Amino acid sequence: MGGAVITLEELASGTTLAEAQGMTEELGRAAARLAGAELEAGRLETAREILEGLAVTNPHDPAPWAMLALVARRRGRLLAARVCAETAYRLAPEDAQVRLVRAEVLLCDPEERGRARAELAGLAGAEATVAARARALLTALG
């Protein structure tokens, strides 16, 4: 493993592209931080490119999927946002940040607002920033 060419056997064995390429967790976290900074600065295309690379190289990490959902939602690509949010949720259904992102995406669909409200209400006891955002959204919804 770890050569320049990734074999089908490596991928079939469950080895991620990140592992096969020797990408460390530290490097992945640094790339995610960069993508987050790009997202905050409004450079959505750059954030998307970084996050897609992270999602492809390590598809089992919910963080890039959740962040891709945010990028897609801000770009008005609601179906893509939903797919990314649901992928992140499938990977980490107990993660409060993932649940918050999913709820925000669900709010974009009038038919899913009830589920979004229930999820937001369930986040009231989560970590401080997640709980504050959930309460703010619930307040805004009335």
SS3 label, residue 33: helix
Tens digit of each residue's pLDDT (9 = 90 or more) over 64-112:
999 999 999 999 999 999 999 999 999 999 999 999 999 999 999 999 9
- The span from the CA of 131 to the CA of 142, in Å, is 17
Cβ neighbours for 51, distance < 8 A, ≥ 6 positions apart: 32, 35, 64, 67, 68, 71
Tens digit of each residue's pLDDT (9 = 90 or more) over 20-52:
566 667 877 888 899 999 999 999 999 999 999
Domain residue spans of the chain: 8-141
Instruction: Provide the b/e sequence for 108-138 (b: ≥16 CB within 10 Å).
Output: eeeebeeebbebbeebeebeeebbebbeebb
Q: What is the CATH number of domain 8-141?
A: 1.25.40.10
